[in-house]
Structure 1
Amino acid sequence: ERIGSIGINMFKNLRQLSINVYRVEKKIDLFVLTPLLQWCPCLQEFHVNLNNNEYDVAQGERKAIVFHTELKKMVFTGFCGMENEIEFATYILASATSLEKMVICRCTNVYIGLGKWFQFRTRRWSEETPEIIRTKLQGKAVSKTAEVILQPRPFHL
């Protein structure tokens, strides 16, 4: 299987991956990222930075869960608490058998050049948002050691 002209085998030993998701269309489906977990079987840290503060949820086809045995840390930045984001976080919790930590942060990262990033908040979470997220993710982890951390303010990765 190939991605354009790049073979997916080049990702087989990847341990850390950081992806910026920008809104190109009015709708976005985060489940388009799930093949990355299959293409990167050694992935231990996965960071998804959501730079599309306001978007509609695209209802894509949900794939069957494929277990990932190496993923230990999952970080979401720019997480608004939208249903699509929560569904994707639930998928990660249900598929990452060795997950130790999932960090969900409202702040998003913006690349400012020369290897430097800036974190900022575009909109605050409502008082209810963290509890809604926590409730929807509670009990979804296949890993017994998984901890979900909700971070409404900037933090250092």
Structure 2
Amino acid sequence: MSIEARLESLGVTLPDAPAPAANYVPFVVVGPLVHVSGQISSDESGLITGKLGDTMDVAAGAAAARRCAISLLAQVRAACDGDLDRLARVVKLTGFVNSTAEFTDQPKVINGASDFLVEALGDAGRHARSAVSAASLPLGVAVEIEGIFEIR
């Protein structure tokens, strides 16, 4: 089954790859690796904003992280000229969580992205990862995630 078909079976349609918000490129391909710039939490309604430990709980943060993962896959599809089946594996994610100083469940928030990628890609979705706190994130978003992916 193709990756796009697996996503469809999960009820996920990838959006067009989001455009960069400043002076950078959305991804860089170096050999078999695609380095994807940080993708901020957003959905069809717009930005997903909030601060974990204050205005958002872990479940809402994990849902925001899942949306970041969907945007990451959209960028990988663009890097592969529209052929997402060239994706061999997720190598590494770095997740940033807009959270209070007291909030310590950043890994649980970023699990929203990790769990989704494993669900969508199977073993190819398993990856190395960092999950860190940020005092604030661009535009007040709840989560930002960057990634490294191996392509064929």
State the TM-score, normalizing by the size of structure 2. 0.33
Q: Which has the higher contact order (CA 8 A, sep 6+)?
A: 2
> Greater CA radius of gyration, 1 or 2?
1
Which has a greater percent of helix?
Answer: 2
